[in-house]
């Protein structure tokens, strides 16, 4: 591993993963996007514009909070640091990528963006950027998710976006992506597909990663400046994998820093109801890229299961598949129950209510801390806040009905 420079790697391929497995109709748009991005990323004007928006609109740099009371539950002598992406405007890391792609949309002269969303975080961020830049915005969201994330649907509508519930297939994130791709094929002339994760055809996995890599770049410097060391380990939740790659990327060539991605294990790793793609999937082609995915023997995509809409996805970004096979990142599963316990624990020990997605990473940290030697430190991407999950959490803990409950 020491001879590899993992950080400088770009698509279309990450080892055997990645590529562009899409209808020919989309190739011209992908080529245009790649060309526009390649010019923009080296253009000082673009970089300055993006940095200024992050400073004055997103609220970057996001701070690092040491979670001392939470760390007491994570084994002896373990320090836990939270990279506070939950404090970004719109409440999650998703805005980092959205602002970048919205700027590219303007550069390409397109007037309409479409987006898929699971938990609604990316949809809200996209609707926000559309409002800010004066773009038309349509968000595809699985019907199941519109129900469990009703508050985010209202937010998107208030921001001026049209939300289209997707009623085909499993009616979750996977089907929302299918529907967005169909829209894009038909409207590619004036429309940019603002894909929200590091999956999909090239250049999305590389470009979305680059826009999120600000998380790790900031965090690495902050650790050195404020604490004088790099963390022993990084932790992040993984659905499609955008927040995880955003944190990991800047550290990929720091060999001494271990990395852990936490997938949703749903009912548990010993049950068939999970979304643990990297643990239980095998390589295949889904949504334009070759990567690990949950599928049956015929290559039909299997439905994933998770209490977290944002992790409920049977695919994963190709760079994660590559990092798994290289052994650079270890991917583990966290059940719904473990995630919800961690959500409550972080709320009560630190006064920070994380998104249910993020709670998977926090649950991972509780276990990981007990494996690491005393004196170790763990930097977690606190990728989103839990406001959107209050209905799910309220029901889960019985907070909305005084007669029952798990607290």
Q: Which residues are catalytic?
A: 94, 116, 383
CA–CA distance, 196 with 94 (Å, rounded to integer): 7
Question: Burial level of 403, CB count in 10 A (0-12/13-18/19+)?
Answer: exposed
CB of 202 to another protein, least distance (A): 10
Check residue 347 for interaction with another protein (CB under 8 A): no
Specify the residue, 168 or 221, whose C-beta has the smaller distance to another protein: 168
Out of 1, 4, 16, 27, point to the residue binding another protein (CB under 8 A): 27
Report the length, in residues, of the chain: 407
Out of 44, 56, 189, 228, point to the residue binding another protein (CB under 8 A): 189
Check residue 20 for interaction with another protein (CB under 8 A): yes
- Which residues have CB under 8 Å from 219's CB, separation 6+? 64, 83, 247, 250, 379, 381
Check residue 225 for interaction with another protein (CB under 8 A): no
* Beta carbons within 10 angstroms of residue 400's beta carbon: 13
Check residue 174 for interaction with another protein (CB under 8 A): yes
Q: Draw the binding track, 288-307, toward another protein (x: CB under 8 A; -: no contact).
A: x------x-xxxxx------
CA–CA distance, 404 with 70 (Å, rounded to integer): 26
Per-position DSSP letters for 227-283, written without gaps between them: ISS--SEEEEE-SS-HHHHHHHGGGTT-TT-EEEEEEEEET-TTSS----HHHH-EE
CB of 31 to another protein, least distance (A): 8
CB of 290 to another protein, least distance (A): 8
Check residue 166 for interaction with another protein (CB under 8 A): no
Out of 178, 291, 304, 381, point to the residue binding another protein (CB under 8 A): 178
CB of 6 to another protein, least distance (A): 24
Out of 7, 10, 15, 21, point to the residue binding another protein (CB under 8 A): 21
Q: Residues binding another protein: what is the number (CB under 8 A)?
A: 34
Check residue 28 for interaction with another protein (CB under 8 A): yes
Specify the residue, 291 or 335, whose C-beta has the smaller distance to another protein: 291
CA–CA distance, 402 with 222 (Å, rounded to integer): 43
Quick one: which segment of 39-47, 234-242, 281-289, 333-341 binds another protein (CB under 8 A)? Answer: 281-289
Per-position DSSP letters for 72-92, written without gaps between them: TTS-TT-EEEEEEGGGSGGGB
Helix (H, G, I), strand (E, B) or coil at 148: helix
Check residue 114 for interaction with another protein (CB under 8 A): no
Quick one: which segment of 24-32, 117-125, 223-231, 377-385 binds another protein (CB under 8 A)? Answer: 24-32
Torsion of CA 236, 238, 242, 247, to 10 degrees: 20
Residue 331: alpha-carbon gap to chain centroid: 15
- List contacts with another protein (CB under 8 A): 19-25, 27-29, 31, 168-169, 174-175, 178, 181-182, 185-189, 284-288, 295, 297-301
């Amino acid at each position: 591993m020491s001879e590899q420079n993992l950080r400088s790697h770009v698509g279309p391929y990450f080892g055997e993963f990645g590529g562009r497995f899409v209808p020919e109709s989309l190739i011209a748009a992908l080529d245009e996007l790649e060309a526009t991005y390649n010019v923009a990323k080296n253009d000082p004007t673009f970089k300055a514009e993006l940095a200024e928006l992050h400073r004055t609109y997103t609220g970057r740099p996001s701070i690092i909070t040491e979670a001392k009371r939470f760390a007491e539950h994570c084994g002896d002598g373990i320090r836990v640091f939270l990279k506070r992406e939950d404090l970004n405007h719109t409440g999650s890391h998703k805005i980092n990528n959205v602002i970048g792609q919205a700027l590219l949309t303007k550069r390409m002269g397109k007037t309409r963006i479409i987006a898929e969303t699971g938990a609604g975080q990316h949809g809200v961020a996209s609707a926000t950027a559309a409002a800010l830049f004066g773009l038309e915005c349509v968000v595809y969201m699985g019907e199941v998710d519109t129900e469990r994330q009703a508050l985010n649907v209202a937010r998107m509508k208030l921001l001026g976006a049209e939300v289209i519930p997707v009623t085909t297939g499993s009616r979750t994130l996977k089907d929302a992506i299918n529907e967005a791709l169909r829209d894009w094929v038909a409207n590619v002339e004036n429309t940019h597909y603002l894909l929200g994760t590091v999956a999909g055809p090239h250049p999305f996995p590389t470009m979305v990663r680059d826009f999120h890599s600000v998380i790790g770049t900031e965090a690495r410097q902050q650790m050195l400046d404020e604490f004088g060391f790099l963390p022993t380990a990084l932790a992040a939740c993984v659905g499609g994998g955008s927040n995880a790659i955003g944190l990991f990327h800047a550290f990929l060539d720091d060999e001494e820093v271990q990395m852990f991605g936490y997938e949703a294990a749903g009912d548990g790793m010993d049950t068939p109801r999970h979304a643990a793609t990297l643990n239980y999937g095998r390589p295949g082609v889904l949504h334009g890229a070759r990567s690990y995915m949950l599928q049956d023997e015929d290559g039909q995509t299997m439905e994933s299961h998770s209490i977290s809409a944002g992790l409920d996805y049977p695919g994963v970004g190709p760079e994660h598949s590559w990092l798994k096979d290289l052994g650079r990142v270890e991917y583990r599963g966290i059940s719904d129950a473990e995630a919800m316990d961690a959500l409550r624990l972080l709320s009560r020990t630190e006064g920070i209510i994380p998104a249910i997605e993020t709670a998977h990473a926090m649950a991972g940290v509780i276990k990981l801390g007990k494996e690491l030697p005393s004196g170790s430190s763990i930097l977690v991407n606190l990728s989103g806040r839990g406001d959107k999950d209050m209905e799910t959490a309220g029901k889960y803990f019985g907070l909305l009905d005084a007669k029952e409950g798990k607290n």
